[in-house]
């Protein structure tokens, strides 16, 4: 099965009982047992048929063997970190998603799981940060908002040499463009709230592995801590994933044209997009992913100017989040990255006038006119 076919036909794509071509939403919390201990499903925290259909689907499309659905991306990431124990140390990409930074530094530290943030695009820096108690490397690529790229095959090599679990947040690329498990990762996590859901109407998280022992441990944690995705949201995600392929193709084409427009515009200073030849991660990203995605950032001369632009766009909606059919625009220094001190933000390259866009699937001519008017 090829990718777009898989999104529609992989996993459990129909109801064997009625022949319905859409998986039913099973709102049952418990299931009748044929005799004590004889059952297919027992209790819906442990397993629910609608959630199971989604979990089988994400496992298939990420080239894994076991999938797990959680109530949010953060619940999924938290469950993955709970694979580790007090005294363990984790290396993480230095500009990971803000919520990941927060859960690692303000929650998991309470359980004595230690973390070091490192530029994972620098292999020597990664090697130098490994300690005797290091157990995992946690990578995001491309990152937010500067679209920094990490070489997944190279990090997989370092992880293997040192016996570390290699975790990748694949939210930005989606399984349509990038499959980290095939590049040597052990665990893939997703904020399915973004491209997988794709319509800004569901909050969800997914985890995929291809190792039996990891799968067993993850299911144990999912069932023990209980941060599961409900049946209605599981169904919404299955529906969203069916169109992931055509959405990502359209987003790719729109984003290319918008990035070209921005690169040529006199009011725009810098453009960050891994599809640009001069982007420092262009070659590595091209070697590990089939497309560059719908996230791009650009700078204008000042924050005042940026704020004016954000007021003027009509189709680019001013909002956090990303990855949906509608285009979104945001100002990371005052929104997603506001909790980082300005000095640190500037060190990271997040300038005051940095604007981030998430390109949707509107007619690209409307999107271009929208930006043209706002930049005037
Ligand atoms: C949004 C996001 C998350 C968190 O997911 P939620 O569904 O909001 O909990 C994690 N990683 C990345 C890259 C994200 O964009």
- C-beta of 234 in contact with ligand 1 (< 6 A): no
Residues in contact with 37: Cβ distance below 8 Å, sequence separation at least 6, in sequence order: none
Q: How far is Cα 227 from Cα 293, in angstroms, rounded to an integer?
A: 29
The residue to mutate among 69, 71, 72, 74, having the most atoms of ligand 1 within 8 angstroms of its beta carbon, is: 74
Q: How far is Cα 120 from Cα 127, in angstroms, rounded to an integer?
A: 10
Contact between 179 and 153 under an 8 Å Cβ cutoff? The reply is no
- C-beta of 227 in contact with ligand 1 (< 6 A): no
- C-beta of 145 in contact with ligand 1 (< 6 A): no
**How confident is the model over 278-321, as pLDDT tens digits?**
999 999 999 999 999 999 999 999 999 999 999 999 999 999 99
Active site residue 169: yes
Q: For residue 343, give its domain range.
A: 245-375
- C-beta of 99 in contact with ligand 1 (< 6 A): yes
DSSP states of 119-155: -TT-HHHHHHH--TTEEEEEEESS-TTT-----HHHH
Mean pLDDT over 130-154 rounds to 97
Active site residue 194: yes
Contact between 63 and 210 under an 8 Å Cβ cutoff? The reply is yes
Q: Are residues 138 and 187 in the same domain?
A: yes
Q: Are residues 253 and 164 in the same domain?
A: no
Please say which residue of 242, 274, 296 terminates a domain: 242
Q: Are residues 203 and 143 in the same domain?
A: yes
Q: Are residues 119 and 220 in the same domain?
A: yes
> Of 51, 52, 61, whose CA–CA distance to 5 is shortest?
61
Q: How far is Cα 93 from Cα 74, in angstroms, rounded to an integer?
A: 16
- C-beta of 169 in contact with ligand 1 (< 6 A): yes
**How confident is the model over 79-135, as pLDDT tens digits?**
999 999 999 999 999 989 999 999 999 999 999 999 999 999 999 999 999 999 999
> Separation of 234 CA from ligand 1 center, angstroms?
17
pLDDT band of residue 211 (cuts 50, 70, 90) is very high
Q: Are residues 139 and 278 in the same domain?
A: no
Q: Residue 252 belongs to a domain with what CATH number?
A: 3.90.1150.10
Please say which residue of 194, 215, 242 terminates a domain: 242
Q: Are residues 44 and 167 in the same domain?
A: yes
Question: For atom 4 of ligand 1, which residue has the closest CA?
Answer: 73
How much is the pTM? 0.97
Q: How many CB atoms lie within 10 A of CB 80?
A: 25
CA dihedral 163, 67, 6, 155 (to 10 degrees): -20
> Separation of 35 CA from ligand 1 center, angstroms?
42
For β-strands 187-191 and 205-209, DSSP reports them as antiparallel
- Looking at the CA of residue 205, tell me the nearest atom of ligand 1: 7
Q: How far is Cα 258 from Cα 265, in angstroms, rounded to an integer?
A: 11
**Residue in 6, 88, 94, 97 annotated catalytic:** 97
Q: Quickly tell me which residue has 């089939």 as its tokens.
A: 290
Q: Residue 39 belongs to a domain with what CATH number?
A: 3.40.640.10
> Separation of 17 CA from ligand 1 center, angstroms?
36
Q: Are residues 319 and 282 in the same domain?
A: yes
Q: Are residues 39 and 134 in the same domain?
A: yes
Q: Are residues 234 and 302 in the same domain?
A: no
Contact between 46 and 223 under an 8 Å Cβ cutoff? The reply is yes
Q: Are residues 157 and 257 in the same domain?
A: no
The residue to mutate among 78, 95, 97, having the most atoms of ligand 1 within 8 angstroms of its beta carbon, is: 97
Residues in contact with 306: Cβ distance below 8 Å, sequence separation at least 6, in sequence order: 300, 331, 352, 353, 354, 355
11, two tokens: 């996993």
Please say which residue of 242, 260, 286 terminates a domain: 242
Q: How far is Cα 236 from Cα 264, in angstroms, rounded to an integer?
A: 39
Q: How far is Cα 330 from Cα 296, in angstroms, rounded to an integer?
A: 11
pLDDT score for 348: 87
> Separation of 201 CA from ligand 1 center, angstroms?
14
What's the domain count of the chain? 2
**How confident is the model over 224-254, as pLDDT tens digits?**
999 999 999 999 999 999 999 999 999 999 9
What is the Cβ-side half-sphere exposure of residue 142, based on CA atoms within 13 angstroms? 29
- Looking at the CA of residue 323, tell me the nearest atom of ligand 1: 15
Q: Quickly tell me which residue has 């059952």 as its tokens.
A: 39
- 344 phi-psi bin (left φ>0, alpha ψ -120 to 50, beta other): alpha
- C-beta of 150 in contact with ligand 1 (< 6 A): no
Q: Are residues 260 and 228 in the same domain?
A: no
Q: Are residues 205 and 274 in the same domain?
A: no
- Looking at the CA of residue 76, tell me the nearest atom of ligand 1: 9
**How confident is the model over 5-47, as pLDDT tens digits?**
999 999 998 898 999 999 999 999 999 999 999 999 999 999 9
């Amino acid at each position: 099965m090829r990718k777009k076919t898989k999104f529609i036909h992989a996993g459990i794509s129909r109801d064997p009982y009625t022949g319905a071509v859409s998986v039913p939403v099973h709102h049952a919390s418990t299931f009748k047992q044929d005799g004590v201990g004889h059952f297919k499903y027992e209790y819906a925290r442990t397993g629910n048929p609608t959630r199971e259909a989604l979990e089988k689907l994400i496992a298939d499309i990420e080239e894994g063997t076991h999938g797990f659905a959680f109530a949010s991306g953060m619940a999924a990431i938290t469950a993955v970190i709970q694979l580790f124990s007090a005294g363990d140390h984790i290396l993480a990409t230095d500009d990971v998603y803000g919520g990941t930074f927060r859960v690692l530094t303000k929650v998991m530290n309470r359980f004595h799981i230690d973390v070091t943030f490192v530029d994972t695009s620098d292999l020597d820096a990664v090697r130098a940060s490994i300690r005797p108690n290091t157990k995992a490397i946690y990578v995001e690529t491309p990152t937010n908002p500067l679209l920094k790229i990490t070489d997944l095959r190279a990090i997989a090599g370092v992880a293997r040499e040192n016996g570390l679990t290699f975790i990748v947040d694949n939210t930005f690329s989606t399984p349509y463009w990038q499959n980290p498990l095939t590049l040597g990762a052990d665990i893939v996590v997703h904020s399915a709230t973004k491209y997988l859901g794709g319509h800004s109407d569901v909050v969800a998280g997914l985890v995929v592995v291809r190792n039996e022992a990891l799968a067993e441990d993850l299911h144990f944690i999912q069932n023990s801590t209980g941060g599961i995705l409900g049946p209605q949201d599981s169904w919404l995600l299955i529906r969203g994933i069916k169109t992931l392929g055509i959405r990502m193709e359209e987003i790719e084409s729109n984003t290319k044209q918008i990035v070209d427009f921005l690169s040529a515009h006199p009011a725009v200073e810098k453009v960050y997009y891994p599809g640009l030849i001069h982007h420092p991660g262009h070659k590595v990203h091209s070697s590990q992913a089939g497309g560059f995605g719908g996230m791009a950032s650009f700078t204008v001369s000042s924050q005042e100017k940026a704020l004016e632009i954000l007021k003027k766009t009509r189709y680019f909606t001013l909002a956090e989040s990303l990855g949906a059919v509608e285009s979104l625009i945001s100002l990371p220094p005052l929104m997603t990255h506001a909790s980082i001190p300005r000095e640190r933000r500037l060190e990271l390259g997040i300038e005051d006038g940095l604007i981030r866009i998430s390109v949707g699937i509107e007619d690209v001519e409307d999107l271009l006119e929208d930006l043209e008017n706002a930049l005037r």
